[in-house]
Amino acid sequence: MAELAQLFAHIDPSQRPVRGDGLAEAMRIAEALLFAAAEPLAEKDIEKRMPSGVAAAAVLEALRTDYALRGVNLVRSGGKWMFRTAADLAWLLATGEGEIKRLSRAALETLAIVAYHQPVTRAEIEDIRGVAISKGTLDLLLETGWVRLRGRRRAPGRPITYGTTEGFLIHFGLEAIGDLPGLEELKGAGLFDGRLPQAFGIPEPCDDKGLGPDEDPLEDNISADFAAGTPAAGPERPAWRDDLARAKEALPAPEDCDS
Domain co-membership, 135 together with 220: yes
10-14, 162-166, 207-211 — which one is most confidently predicted on average?
A: 162-166
Number of structural domains the chain divides into: 2
| One domain for residues 126 and 220 | yes
- Cα–Cα distance, 139 to 123 (Å, whole number): 15
Q: What is the pLDDT of residues 104-139, one digit of tens each?
A: 889 999 999 999 999 999 999 999 888 998 878 999
- C-alpha 157/C-alpha 235 separation (Å) is 9
CB count within 10 Å of CB 186 equals 13
Asked if 64 and 145 sit in the same domain, the reply is no
Q: What is the pLDDT of residue 223?
A: 54
User: How many Å is the Cα radius of gyration of the chain?
Assistant: 23
Q: Are residues 118 and 64 in the same domain?
A: no
* Residue 57 pLDDT greater than 70, yes or no: yes
The CA distance from 126 to 140, in Å, is 16
How far CA 156 is from CA of 81, 149, 163, 221, 242, in Å, comes to 42, 18, 20, 20, 13
* Domain-located, residue 258: no
In-domain check, residue 67: yes
On whether both 22 and 64 belong to a single domain, the answer is: yes
Q: Do 129 and 47 share a structural domain? A: no
> What DSSP assignment string belongs to 86-126?
-GGGHHHH----SPPP---HHHHHHHHHHHHH-SEEHHHHH
Calculate helix-pair angle for 22-36, 56-66, nearest 10 degrees: 80
**Does 248 fall in a domain?**
no
Q: Please tell me whether residues 145 and 40 are part of one structural domain.
A: no
Q: What is residue 99's predicted lDDT score, i.e. its pLDDT?
A: 60
Inside any domain, residue 95? no
CATH number at residue 30: 1.10.10.10
Residues 121 and 232 in one domain: yes
What pairing do the DSSP bridges indicate for beta strands 147-153 and 160-164?
A: antiparallel
Mean pLDDT of 224-232: 46
Q: Which domain holds residue 44?
A: 2-87
Could you tell me if 117 and 239 lie in one domain?
yes
CA atoms lying within 13 Å on the CB side of residue 129: 24
Q: What are phi and psi of 119, to 5 degrees?
A: -75, 135
* Pair 112, 233 in one domain: yes
What pTM was computed for the model? 0.60
38 lies in the same domain as 119: no
Q: Over 60: is that where the pLDDT of 25 sits?
A: yes
Predicted local confidence at residue 206, as pLDDT: 81
Q: Once rounded to an integer, what is the mean pLDDT over residues 189-206? A: 71
Where among 52, 87, 122 does a domain terminate? 87
Instruction: Count Cα atoms within 13 angstroms, Cβ side, for 96.
Output: 1
pLDDT of residue 209: 79
pLDDT band (50, 70, 90) for residue 244: very low
Question: Domain for residue 77, yes or no?
Answer: yes
**Within a domain: residue 257?**
no
What are the φ/ψ torsions at residue 215 (nearest 5 degrees)? Answer: -120, 145
Whether pLDDT at 54 is above 70: yes
